[in-house]
Structure formats: structure tokens, C-alpha cells
Amino acid sequence: MATFLFDKIVFGPVISRRLGISLGINLLPVDAKVCSFDCIYCECGWTLPNRQKKSSLPDRNEVREKLEETLLKMQSENQLPDVITFAGNGEPTLHPAFAGIIDDTISLRNRYAPNARIAVLSNATMLHKPDVVNALLKVDDNIQKLDSAFEETVRLLDCPKGDFRIGKVVEQLAAFKGRVIVQTMFVRGTWKGQPIDNTTPREVDAWMELLHKIAPAQVMIYTIDRDTPAETLEKVPLSELEVIAGKVKAAGFSVQVSG
């Protein structure tokens, strides 16, 4: 199916299902996806092997200049964003200057769009780096992926590269002491001949146990909305997402649902 890459450092604004009018920042190459996951539902397509060595990342100054230019334009048009979102063609926290870029973004936000929130959409694979964690604690919406409580499901659905242990990720998410939003993609289908469904009672109950350990400020649950690189996936009906959301609410967590 058709997937796409973001062809700019600063893109949008776009209407986000979860965040409102969102101005995006892509810290990855504009010609390839660079990520520590290779999610089979990713709208940006597959993570190409060894591409990191061939693609250039935007430098800190370039990101700052592009963001300031865009915010100035939006300010002149009286159309400032609700949120400035780090997303784009892969995992934003992989950028070596991520922490400094967050500082620059906070400064520019305060100057040009003081009512805008700053959000980071991350897959939680760089939480072993103190500078990344410290930067995430500075943003308004620290949104971290947790698609399943079971490593076998994560490996099938998210295809993490390198060492991945769900127990360690949960420990790192809990260390935010509530200053984190958990984001979960619910999906079903098949991949490489194996069934995938993280909406089953077994999956949801185990995932709920991890939410209790993490104690996030909010839980975002959603399903596929665009084309996916794997063509054997199915969108989960909103009615089913609402049932899962009801369990999350009953457990005392704030929850946002996007069908």
C-alpha cells in the first residue's frame, strides 16, 4: 500500500486526531525513514537497513532557523499552532542534538506561540540516555509508545532493532513518575503467516497491568488511519476501542480515543 515520507524539516500545520492543529518537526532525513523500530503499520513505510550511514540529519541550527521562519509566518497570518510536534520519518530521539533542539524549540515557542504545547511522539527506545530523558521532562506532552505487554507481540508488530526488553521499558516509563503519556496502537490481522491482535482479553489485561505500574498522566489509544506497509492489517472499530477505553477510565486513568 502507498506510504509516504515527510519532505521537510518543519511541516504542516496538519490536523492531528489526537493533538489538534499540529506543526510538525522532522529530525530525520527527508528521503528515508530512520528508526529503531520497523512497525508494520507505520505510515512512513519500512525502515531501510543501514540507511542511517547514507542519509544526513538536519543540524540543530537548521532546525531552529526553519522553525523560527515558520512560526513568524504563522504569527503574521494569525494562525498559530495548538502544538509543535516532534514526529516525522522515524524516531526523533535518535537525533544526537535532540536535547539542544528541544531547548531551542521551547525558547521559540515562548517567543512566538506561548499558548502552543510541545509534544514528542517516541517509541521509548532511547530512554536509557539521560539527556533524552531530561529533554522529555521539559516538554508538555511526552508521548511514548507501548503497543503490548508481551515481547512476542511487540516483536511482531513493532519489529524493534537491537536489544529490546519490555520490562526495562516499563521501568523507564515508570521513572517519569506520571510525566508521560502512553500511546497504544490497536490493530489486528496477520504478518508473515502469524496472527496479530492486541485487542484480545489476554492482551488488554496484561497491558492494563503495565499501565498501573507506569501510572501515566494520560493514555492515548488509536488504530490505523492511513495506508500501512503491511497489507494484511485491519482497522479496529471505534466501538471496540471505546470498550478498551472504558476499562482504562475505570482504572482511574485519563484516556483519549481516536478511531
User: b or e along 31-60 (b: 16 or more beta carbons within 10 Å of the residue's beta carbon)?
Assistant: ebbbbbbbbbbbbbbebeeeebeebebbeb
- Asked if residue 2 is part of any domain, the answer here is no
pLDDT at 1: 45
**What is the domain count for the chain?**
1
- Asked if residue 159 is part of any domain, the answer here is yes
- Asked if residue 54 is part of any domain, the answer here is yes
Per-residue H/E/C for 164-190:
CCHHHHHHHHHCCCCCCEEEEECEEEE
Q: Which residues of the chain have pLDDT under 70?
A: 1-4, 17-18, 50-55
pLDDT at 32: 85
CATH at 187? 3.20.20.70
Domain limits for position 37: 10-258
pLDDT at 7: 80
pLDDT at 82: 94
- For residue 2 the three cell numbers come to 502507498
- Asked if residue 5 is part of any domain, the answer here is no
- Asked if residue 4 is part of any domain, the answer here is no
Q: Measured in Å, how far apart are the chain's first and last C-alpha atoms?
A: 20
- Asked if residue 16 is part of any domain, the answer here is yes
- Asked if residue 249 is part of any domain, the answer here is yes
pLDDT at 52: 46
Element (H, E) at 75: helix 60-76
- For residue 199 the three cell numbers come to 485487542
pLDDT at 48: 74
pLDDT at 46: 86
- Asked if residue 3 is part of any domain, the answer here is no
pTM check: above 0.85 = yes
- For residue 195 the three cell numbers come to 496472527
